[in-house]
Amino acid sequence: MALGMREFREIRFKPYRIIHRVIAGHVNVMVIADGRRDMRSLLERRLLWR
């Protein structure tokens, strides 16, 4: 990802983008969003400022 967060993964299922990460064999879905949104600002708000 462009934000430098390598532990997160992405699946694209148009028009949606599913951001998730795998920890100890478990999948944690972090964001399901419309891919037409400004993803940078969405991810900054939801993932960086927890």
Q: Is the pLDDT confidence value at 1 over 60?
A: no
Indicate yes or no: pTM above 0.75: no
Model confidence over 4-30: pLDDT tens digits?
A: 557 788 899 989 999 898 889 899 998
**Lowest mean pLDDT segment, chosen from 16-20, 40-44, 45-49:** 45-49
Cα–Cα distance, 27 to 41 (Å, whole number): 23
pLDDT greater than 60 at residue 36: yes
Q: Could you tell me if 19 and 45 are in contact, meaning their C-beta atoms sit under 8 angstroms apart? A: no
